Structure 1
């Protein structure tokens, strides 16, 4: 093998290992589309350099074979580099540090005040990022990249957050440039629902599915897509604005300017508004979900109504996209079957039969960590790409 071919093979092997975490040599050869002998030679070189190890407890162990010994797995060593993820929400900031074998080295969470100006939120992120690196015992020079999520459409040509975001303090700001300057590292920005899809696909309820949608139902409602095992964001980065699907043309005016968008009927503020006469003005969405799970009839009804509305929009999504699985996350997703059962019923009424039969609707496995882990996954997928 000549030098150019070996370099290309090495890059493909490293890229597969970064995305997969820990795999067998046979699986590595299949995913990298390389001959087993080529993979063996590259892995030997990487082992000699101390960049590949055989982990004792892989993050994603394969399904056990019916017979025979399980395969020996290999993964990238910590010194091959680390990546970071940030997730900005309406009221929270999350930071995570991971090595290339998918071992999480540090996670931090910081509450945020509502509508915090971008520069103040970025200053807090700078502090949390520095503390996370220190906790993980990571030198800044080991960092290979930073992924970041924001709750709104990220317009790729301009790098700015669209006006339909629930973070008005970020509108008009080039988020990637501003955060990169604060952290001292290049930053790749993506919509939070897209990152939730990546996180659940790599670590959670979407594993093993090549066509899936992730629906984040919280203060806003958004969707992220995995198509043929790859994230899909559309021509300009706006794909997945499920919350601005018009469900009731005569409904309330949405912050985007339209009437009857899904968010006006089923997002957090709408759910809490329907409960105000019973529970007052200070109930939060997680509290409403908790009360519903404990048997509060009013909260359960409000969540079921939200599920019915979301199901109407997801039915259209299934007709157009035909996913194998829809993973539901966000604060409302924590309600489990209280939300999912009416969502499925509404989906079956609104989708064509073949699309409804093809799809499985499940609760997310990662909870409120889906988006920050998706930010980590975003960078892992770019390593050696």
Structure 2
């Protein structure tokens, strides 16, 4: 799916997004009403509207005869929900998440299904295909499908292994559905989704942290998704939290992931005498104030807050978003995070950083895949052009959610 990303093309996409956003928020509008709200010149607006009507994103209609007043009927413009749909898939290590969005950016369906940690890539893709098929039986019209965005675990870099996995995913899903397939890291896509549809909508500088089986995240800097020089930004899980602490899979010791991931919290809970079967039991017990779950989550939260403070002092986000399975603990986790974050921030920054829970839950990365496919958001204005081509996408580092 080739994108021409010159200044004029970006400006035009911005104008199109402005018109589409007004129709999303206000419903059907006349051209005059659109003009009053968007501030575009009459010539530019009519050109943009003509293109959107021409490609089917917008439909024009006039009132029924019995509802018209005297004079010439006023044509009204509205989004065309059936003009096209995009699918997002998150091939996480222990679950597959699928979401579908129509051209109006409305979520028309979503589903999640856990699987064992040993399920290979082919098995996860097969599971995703079945889930899309089941979703199609309810609300998704595959005939209108335009593209698929896929989130994957770990770095999506130009290395031989990463490229091979990308090509395999694009080949298998592209062959099955007959549309372009874009692949990127799932935590970056979750950060993108929270900034497009979720709790950080409208914020220009966002730090997203996902506390799952791995710990990773994403950055929105000055209104654009940040990838780093080699697509490896967002490695928050490998900030040192406990100097000389437990060994980490990355080869270091004492990384945040060794004390604030699902596995680390479960191990700490059991070491403290807890008998929870899974992380959902631990977070539920912590919400109820039960020990040792509350103490274990509070300790993890303090490490998270201290690490976030270091990043915030360097990057200066206005919004910090916490997601992933551990976030289900609610205030039992976020309050210790908030306290440690506040303590570690420069005094001048303390009132300027807003800590928020993620809003999109398990399907966040799948929705981020859709945002990547739509490629309309200003958040992607400085995203590398090759990331918008079939099977191409550079992403940040490790997260095995």
- Please confirm whether the aligned pair reaches a TM-score higher than 0.5, indicating the same fold: yes
Structure 1 pair 365–51 and aligned structure 2 pair: CA distance change class (3 A): closer
Indicate whether 1:279 and 2:274 are aligned: yes
Distance 1:300 1:255, change over 3 A: same
Alignment length (residue pairs): 351
Partner secondary structure for residue 361 of structure 1 = strand
- 2:45 counterpart residue number: 39
Query: For the Cα contact (< 8 Å) 1:28–1:39, is it kept in 2?
Result: no
> Shift of residue 100 of structure 1?
1.3
Would you say the 8 A contact 1:17–1:28 is kept in 2?
no
How does the TM-score come out when normalised to structure 2? 0.77
After the TM superposition, which residues 291-302 of structure 1 pair with which residues of structure 2 at under 5 Å, given as runs? 291-302=285-296
Aligned ranges 1:281-360 → 2 under 5 Å: 283-360=277-354
- Alignment partner of 1:202 is 2:196: yes
Q: CA 1:48 to 1:85, structure 2 compared with 1: closer, same or farther past 3 Å?
A: closer
Check if 1:242 corresponds to 2:236: yes
**Higher deviation after alignment, 264-273 or 18-27:** 18-27
Is the contact made by 2:203 and 2:223 (CA closer than 8 Å) also made in structure 1? yes
Other-structure match for 1:118: 121
Contact 2:125–2:169 under 8 Å retained in 1: no
Partner SS, residue 242 of structure 2: coil
Q: Displacement, 1:17?
A: 5.4
User: In structure 2, the residue corresponding to 1:22 is in which secondary structure?
Assistant: helix
CA displacement, residues 247-283 of structure 1 (integer Å, 9 cap, x when unaligned): 2230011011111110001111111101114233x62
Q: What is the alpha-carbon root mean square deviation over aligned residues?
A: 3.3
Aligned partners of 2:9 and 2:310: how far apart in 1?
A: 45
Query: TM-score scaled by structure 1?
Result: 0.80
1:113-160 alpha-carbon deviations (Å, 9 max, x no partner): 1131111111111222233234334134x22221111232221x2485
Measured against aligned partners, the alpha-carbon deviations of 1:154-213 in whole angstroms (never above 9, x if no partner) come to 21x248559xxxxxxx97985444543454332212222211111111222101211111
| CA distance in structure 2 between the aligned counterparts of 1:222 and 1:44, rounded to whole angstroms | 42
CA contact (8 A) 2:237 2:256 kept: yes
Task: Give the aligned partner of residue 147 of structure 1.
Answer: 149
2:215/2:237 contact within 8 Å kept: yes
Which residue does 2:134 correspond to in 1?
131
Tell me the distance in 1 between the aligned counterparts of 2:250 and 2:166.
16
- Unmatched tracts of structure 2, length 5 or more: 1-7, 27-33, 62-74, 382-401
Q: Note the alpha carbon deviations across 1:84-126, whole angstroms, 9 max, x for none.
A: 1001223211111111111222222222111311111111112
Q: Judging changes above 3 Å, is the alpha-carbon distance between structure 1 residues 19 and 286 closer, same or farther for their aligned structure 2 residues?
A: farther
Q: Which residue of 2 aligns with 1:86?
A: 89
1:368 aligns with one of 343, 362, 377: 362
Contact 1:83 1:376 in 2 (8 A): yes
Moved more, 196-205 or 177-186: 177-186
2:65 maps to what in 1? none
